[in-house]
Amino acid sequence: MAKQFLDTHGIVYTEIDVDRDAAASAEVVRHVGKRAVPQLVIDGEWFQPYKPGRGLLLDELHQKLGIPRG
């Protein structure tokens, strides 16, 4: 869902598959304390755009990425 959101809004990103990249998986754990995906790194700030029970955090994504709600 996060990739679809980024694609829909024309946001360029680099996808890293933590299932295939052990170093990337370790980096996620180092930054957030657990292996929680998806993670976005926006201007050096780590952000998890999905929360169980809430789903994709649309308001937060719009705000962090500077995308007006329309």
Q: What CATH number corresponds to the domain at position 49?
A: 3.40.30.10
pLDDT in tens, the chain (70 residues): 999 999 999 999 999 999 999 999 999 999 999 989 999 999 999 999 999 999 999 999 999 999 998 7
Name beta bridge partners: 53.
Answer: none
Q: CA-CA distance, 17 to 59, in Å (whole number)?
A: 25
Domain membership flag for residue 61? yes
Query: How many CA atoms, within 13 angstroms, populate the side-chain half-sphere of residue 70?
Result: 4
Q: Report how many domains make up the chain.
A: 1
Cβ-proximal residues to 6 (8 Å cutoff; 6+ apart), any chain:
13
Full domain range(s) for residue 47: 2-65
Asked if residue 70 is part of any domain, the answer here is no
Confidence (pTM):
0.86
16 within domain boundaries: yes
Which of 1, 5, 4 is closest to 65 using CA atoms? 5
Residue 7 placed within a domain? yes
